[in-house]
Amino acid sequence: MQTPGPGFLRFIHGVRTRGLLEFVGKQWREHGDVFQVRIGRRRLLFAMHPDAVEHVSVSHRQNYDKRASYDSVRKYLIGDGLVTSSGELWRRQRKLMAPFFTPKGVQTYASLFIRDSARLVERWDELAARSVEVEIAEEMTHITASIILKAMFSTETMESIHQMKDAVGTMIAFADTAMTGFYLPLWVPTTKNRRYLAARETVHRSIAAVIAQRRASDESTWPDDLLSRLMKTRDEETGQPMSEALLRDESITTFFAGHETTARTMTFAWYALASNPAVTERLHEELGRVLGGRPPTADDLRQLPYALQIVKEVLRLYPAAPFYVRDAVAADKLAGFDVPAGTAVMLSPYYTHRHPQFWDDPERFDPDRWTREREAARHGHAYHPFAAGPRICIGNNFSLLESHVLLVMLAQRFTPKLRPGYEPQWVMQGTLGLANGLPMTIVAR
């Protein structure tokens, strides 16, 4: 059956005038849960229904993989890390790394999350005393970068944290540009190319130096961080450790995936709380009842379910990755439509999470959607902020725990206020973002 959808020129015009996020939503309302766009020889299929998520990610996953759609990210950002690898390499790496990211495995980082959050509390105390307006996205990016670098490399110096954050940020921006196809080869000495190459050299050199330093010392002296765990792990079949290149690629992948998306989630959480005072009031009631003003411990988090429900609702309404791609490696049918091999299938947490068949009043921010009863009664793939199936993001438990801690630690002490008259301008630039930022004033409770 022929798939409906806009023509190429209409698609390009719509994206330029409305932005990808808004234009895709318009096409969904016009054409239904499956529609396509042809861009030259490339066929882009959008699928919004939870059944499509299950089909592509679980029941027919053998027909889909991460291939051409990830070439730019693979080439310019994270190499053969878990996000971009495929086939046997992905299976081996996932098996090696999975134990470190289970719900139990990430609990080892809870004390780090609390410790770094406490440092941000100190900073925000000073900002609140001066009624300073800050860019919340930058605040959240810095804290999540600090946390992931300490979890990954035991990096403690602010200079190293800033250097790595800025360098990876430059690489991410370059990879986003390269995905559009409008860029000059790296051998052309443009300013953008030179900045990218310098950033990549900084990141690769820094990681290589940490690895070399550890290899030169006795293993018993290595810090208990993620890099040490990756260096010590061995393939069950071959007994071989990870190669130097894979250690580097997985390190970059962990940093890229482990700070940017969580920073976006926490940024959007402050917007959601500022826009929903009844939710904020209920959160403060829970925090006061359980903690009574004292700092939380890791054990306290189990007694703070509403805070976690807020995080989950932020991920529903404002998923950091509003779209993700799976490339058809074999011919298939999706919702009755033909999917030739080579088709790029775009799944959309942003719009699946707004599907009126599965979400009542989907634009409303409502953490009560995440009670155990309501969550259990919902379609298993109506919610997929971290993707779904075997290729679900390996860091989902890490991100949820980190977001839970950050929200509890900061909301207990502060109520950031939006700039008067502020209206968000949602955009997609690789990840979901706010074109006009999120200026807020830190207010102590």
Binding site listing for heme? 393
User: Rounded to an integer, what distance in angstroms lies between the CA atom of residue 23 and that of residue 153?
Assistant: 41
DSSP state of 221: G
DSSP state of 387: B
In 180-328, alpha helices (H): 191-215, 226-232, 244-275, 277-291, 305-317
User: Rounded to an integer, what distance in angstroms lies between the CA atom of residue 110 and that of residue 141?
Assistant: 18
The shares of helix, strand and coil residues in the chain, as percent rounded to the nearest 5, are 60, 10, 30
Phi, psi of 179 (to 5 degrees): -65, -25
Of the candidates 445, 437, 442, 444, the one whose C-alpha atom is nearest the C-alpha of residue 417 is 442
The pair of structure tokens assigned to 80 is 């053969």
Binding residues: 393
Q: Which helix (H) or strand (E) holds 428?
A: strand 426-429
Of the candidates 59, 39, 62, 40, the one whose C-alpha atom is nearest the C-alpha of residue 51 is 59
Contact by Cβ (8 Å): 354, 363: yes
For residue 225, the tally of other CB atoms under 10 A from its CB is 21
Q: How do 332-334 and 417-418 pair as beta strands?
A: unpaired
- CA 231 from chain center: how many Å? 25
| Amino acid residing at 417 | K
End-to-end CA distance of the chain: 59
Residue 181, C-beta contacts closer than 8 angstroms, at least 6 positions apart: none
The CA-CA-CA angle for residues 240, 246, 249, to 5°, reads 160
Name 338's bridge partners. 333
How many CA atoms, within 13 angstroms, populate the side-chain half-sphere of residue 350? 21
Phi, psi of 187 (to 5 degrees): -75, -15
Contact by Cβ (8 Å): 322, 347: no
